[in-house]
Amino acid sequence: MQRLIGTSEEDDEEEMDMDVKEEDDDEEENGEKHGRRQVMVGVDVCTAPSSSNNNQFQHQQEIQEQAGTPGGGGVRRSRPLEEKERTKLRERHRRAITARILAGLRRHGNYNLRVRADINDVIAALAREAGWVVLPDGTTFPSRSQVHNCQEIAIADVPPKLPERDFSGTPYVPVYVMLPLGVINLKCELIDPDGLLKQLRVLKSINVDGVMVDCWWGIVEAHTPQDYNWNGYKKLFQMVSELKLKLQVVMSFHECGGNVGDDVCIPLPHWVAEIGRINPHIFFTDREGRRNPECLSWGIDKERVLRGRTALEVYFDYMRSFRVEFDEFFQNGVISMVVVGLGPCGELRYPSCPVKHGWRYPGIGEFQCYDQYLLKNLRKASEARGHSFWARGPDNAGSYNSRPHETGFFCDGGDYNGYYGRFFLNWYSQVLVDHGDRVLSLAKLAFEGTCIGAKLSGFHWWYKTASHAAELTAGFYNPCNRDGYAAIVATLKKNGAVLNFASAELHTLERQEEFSEALADPDGLMWQVMNAAWDVCTPVASENTLPCHDRVGYNKILDNAKPLSDPDRRHFLSFTYLRLGLGLMERENFMEFERFVKRMHGKL
């Protein structure tokens, strides 16, 4: 925990004295009100009409008895002045002690306590120091390492013991946790910093290595070109740094809000949207002419259509601004990796499966090359090949939710493997590789000396067919007779980038069983991609694509992170968990996650 300098003891005592004085004034005011009520009762009694002196005396006696009875409806007697003074002294003494404890812990105990900390913060800090886990809602329980020493604590609903690998002594794989998508709002302000700080402290208490955060282009450069607002991120990074956590930062050049798991809406910059309304060809386009404003088309990488700048220049200016603004965190090593957004969801792929256009799993998706800039590129490539009539997309490739066997292009023996099909798919995938190469080379220049990475997602459905249709529409030319990932990892190797590949967790396997006709093979795809990267010595990192809270899912991730019987003991460079939220912070889920972290660290 970082040391935080607070107010002096005298300031704390002065604040406590002021609080006590306010409470005492309230008590005195209430006492005066009670006294006035008693006088009024006496006046009413004395002036009450009666038929005889005896009846009047009895009536007064009954009222006095009710007034002195706690359960009666009368007025309670005010406390003696001496008792009130003793109460004030006791309260002042108690608060002075609390102030000295807080000041001492801040100065000498190296506890990260805010200036206005209360006794709950002190108890939580001491509990974490003793090895306990304190959740933001106050729920407290022993960490896994403490449970064995606390036999009186019963852990409910412990799942039955399953046969598992022993990961003790295996290589250390750092674990990061992805922050909520909306941790920074559209005004570039940090949302709920106190609540986030509590959650980060909980993560730190179980030795999570760091967090990942998206730096949204649509927030930072929202209104005017090259006018960058990093304010919210400055506060966030400082908070992470003070807790001695690491940062993985994503340069997010895409919009948020149209995909599975998106719980906020963050569009592209307003000035880009204005350009798009005039020139919609800056966005990816399908065969039917539907635009996808999730990210910019790769066809404008070198076209000056963004207020006099090319898309590549816009990306580089943004990355350079970030590097200059956060130089302190690069110099002290807080920022451990910069993941460069290369397409939809920040991944190097075409937006071939947009939910907003009706795609549903396990549809094959559609080719996204029908904006005027990519079509011009295709026309040049076909003319260079000597077949200008090939300057078109396939007309028999089906629609978003087609199956391979329903199309003439992707079916067994289909056009994908003909002369035109091979030409088109080679061009389509080469545009993807070239875009990745250009942007990563600029990132390497902007972030020299810092690890950079690129995200790649696994299109594992239809992997057991000959054409691998879902991969082809996404830009991965990987049919059964060709390695479609060798060129991609070679590009990463060239630019010194890490491959960040989404792993196949339990939810993926459940979907595979539900849609058995999709002929998916997530394990086979992951094995192919990992080996393609490791064969050229490109490091591999990973993250899960859907929330995971159960042991079976974690074990699946562990098996991918540290392959069994690998003679070279190759393993993931790091793993990023998706994502920090209320689900993860539930007691049972969090204890399972703590166990997963220990196993990733090779301690269990």
Least Cα distance to 487 among 447, 516, 529 occurs for 529
User: How far is the C-alpha of 253 from the C-alpha of 554, rounded, in Å?
Assistant: 30
Phi, psi of 544 (to 5 degrees): -85, 155
Q: Which two tokens stand for residue 335?
A: 């920022």
User: How far is the C-alpha of 168 from the C-alpha of 411, rounded, in Å?
Assistant: 47
User: How far is the C-alpha of 132 from the C-alpha of 150, rounded, in Å?
Assistant: 11
Q: Which of 13, 347, 366, 592 is catalytic?
A: 347
Least Cα distance to 91 among 18, 10, 7, 9 occurs for 18
Q: Which residues, at least 6 apart from 124, have a Cβ–Cβ distance to it below 8 Å?
A: 134, 138, 140
Phi, psi of 335 (to 5 degrees): -80, 110
User: How far is the C-alpha of 351 from the C-alpha of 215, rounded, in Å?
Assistant: 20
One-character DSSP codes across 12-56:
HHHHHHHHHHHHHHHHHHHHHHHHHHHHHHHHHHHH---SSHHHH
User: How far is the C-alpha of 525 from the C-alpha of 480, rounded, in Å?
Assistant: 11
User: How far is the C-alpha of 210 from the C-alpha of 174, rounded, in Å?
Assistant: 8
- Single-letter amino acid, residue 542: S
What dihedral angle (degrees, nearest 10) is formed by the CA atoms of 146, 148, 151, 154?
80
Phi, psi of 173 (to 5 degrees): -115, 115
Task: Clarify whether 29 is annotated catalytic.
Answer: no
User: How far is the C-alpha of 546 from the C-alpha of 508, rounded, in Å?
Assistant: 8
- Single-letter amino acid, residue 38: Q
Task: Clarify whether 543 is annotated catalytic.
Answer: yes
- To 5 degrees, how large is the angle CA 596–CA 545–CA 508? 90
One-character DSSP codes across 159-215:
PPP------TTSPP--EEEEPPTTSB-TTS-BS-HHHHHHHHHHHHHTT--EEEEEE
User: 311: which DSSP letter?
Assistant: H
Instruction: Give the β-pairing of 335-340 and 246-252.
Output: parallel
User: How far is the C-alpha of 290 from the C-alpha of 284, rounded, in Å?
Assistant: 8
Least Cα distance to 559 among 549, 567, 548, 571 occurs for 571
Q: 36 preceded by cis ω (within 30°)?
A: no
User: How far is the C-alpha of 439 from the C-alpha of 469, rounded, in Å?
Assistant: 27
Q: Which of 221, 471, 543, 594 is catalytic?
A: 543
Instruction: Give the β-pairing of 246-252 and 210-216.
Output: parallel
User: How far is the C-alpha of 22 from the C-alpha of 206, rounded, in Å?
Assistant: 42
User: 298: which DSSP letter?
Assistant: G
The per-residue b/e assignment along 457-489, b for 16 or more CB within 10 angstroms, e otherwise, is bbbbbbbebbbbbbbbbbbbbbbeeeebbebbb
- Single-letter amino acid, residue 409: F
Catalytic residues: 347, 543
